[in-house]
Structure 1
């Protein structure tokens, strides 16, 4: 029987994502038995930058809580988008992207995906790394 569950994110419960950031453990198959979604908190330090990546077959929705990030996206990371606190971002499945925090403060966001395992669908794209200054 499936039950409702409550979690409280804690600095002690973080994990290193393939993308190069540390995530607060959140809703996922591993923590709650979720079948089709995951949701995590992410804090990006000033100057922090993810590795170029995509999420195979899974969509991503992000709500910026604090700060501003810049995201490069597209098959060659040719597009640039700034996302600030209070804004929502949708990333289609299989879309290459690379977020970074230009600073000066931290950037904090709630991230959800249609992948209950969160990290299983991450595909790193090292060939795109040099395309972002």
Structure 2
């Protein structure tokens, strides 16, 4: 008889990502045995930012549930977009990016990646000097 796969319910816990932000631990290889995706809820408090990073070999998709967030992305983080509640963002594999919450309320989003491991494919990058003066002084969790 073929091995029957089962659905898995995950009661969210929390962890701080190495790239910054407080993640609600959702679906991953670690929590549910996922083999091709990862889905988490991210809360980024007002006045904070993530660290510049990329996800090696894996795509990401983001849905903004509430708040707003500036995302610097691309080579040298030279590109900029502002996302609002209801917006989606696709991030190709290996694309540098950094979220910044300059708003007055927490930003809450859902983040999906093709990497089933919660933090394995995250590679931190240096913050370009030209951008340092324009963004919040400390990443989430750096203080």
Whether the TM-score (by the shorter chain) exceeds 0.5 is: yes
Shift of 1:129: 4.5
> 1:6 pairs with 6, 9, 23, which one?
9
**Unmatched tracts of structure 2, length 5 or more:** 135-143
Q: Does 1:92 align with 2:92?
A: yes
**Unmatched tracts of structure 1, length 5 or more:** none
Shift of 1:7: 2.4
Q: Does 1:103 align with 2:103?
A: yes
SS in 1 for 2:83: strand
Q: Take 1:36 and 1:131, find their aligned partners in 2: how far apart are those partners?
A: 37
Q: Tell me which stretches of 4 or more aligned residues in structure 1 moved more than 4 Å.
A: none
Superposition TM-score, scaled by structure 2 size: 0.86
**Which residues of 2 match residues 43-122 of structure 1 at below 5 A?**
43-122=43-122
Q: Give the total of aligned pairs.
A: 129
Shift of 1:22: 1.7
**Larger CA Rg, structure 1 vs 2:** 2
Superposition TM-score, scaled by structure 1 size: 0.92
